[in-house]
Amino acid sequence: MIQSHPSKVPSAPLRMLEPVPPEPVPFIEVVPPAAEPLMVSYRDGKDLVIENGASIPTDFCIKSGRPAVKTLEISLRNPANPTTWFGKRPRLEVGLCGKHLDDHHVAVALTWSLLAVGAIVLVIGILAFSVITAVVGLLSMGISGLFRATSPVTSRDATDEYATVDGAGAAYLKHLSERAGE
């Protein structure tokens, strides 16, 4: 028996095709995205002001204005507020020249050395029931936090949206405009 190819099978008589009305398309309202906050950094007298996480020039040392040899990301701490000395803080990328980079390394070494020595002295004071030794250990630990908080720049009001940076040198501040938008 001879079989025919499936595409050559005769079909039923064709009916008239009726047009199908298109389905209504739901209206989608296009909402423009919210404007990004303006990211600016500028000088205000002797202070550096940073808004909305703006970056600052890192080609120059933030302390002296000389060409930077290294860029570091530092936490903005407040030396007058011990609760900011340790823990998570807003961060800022800064450039440092050789002299100020060395000063920063010394401050970091002093911070961790005094913290470790203070903790050891505190434990020895507690184990020996010596209040004076324990107090010396606590003072050493507190002084380590002060070193941590003052290197290389500080901020009395740092948040993720705004920071006033103290300690930027006059030569560095000349690279910034006096006010936002100027």
Residues 114-146 pLDDT 10s = 889 999 999 999 999 999 999 999 999 888 877
Cα separation, 89 vs 126, whole angstroms: 31
Mean pLDDT across 71-99: 86
Q: Residue 44 in 3-state DSSP?
A: strand
Nearest to 75 by CA among 163, 2, 173: 163
Cα separation, 92 vs 141, whole angstroms: 25
Q: Which residues of 37-76 are buried (b: 16+ CB within 10 A; e: fewer)?
A: eeeebbbeeebbbbeebbebebebbbbbbbebeeebebbb
CB distance 107 to 96 below 8 Å:
no
Q: Per residue in 93-120, pLDDT tens? A: 999 999 999 988 888 888 888 889 999 9
Average pLDDT, the chain: 80
CB distance 117 to 104 below 8 Å:
no
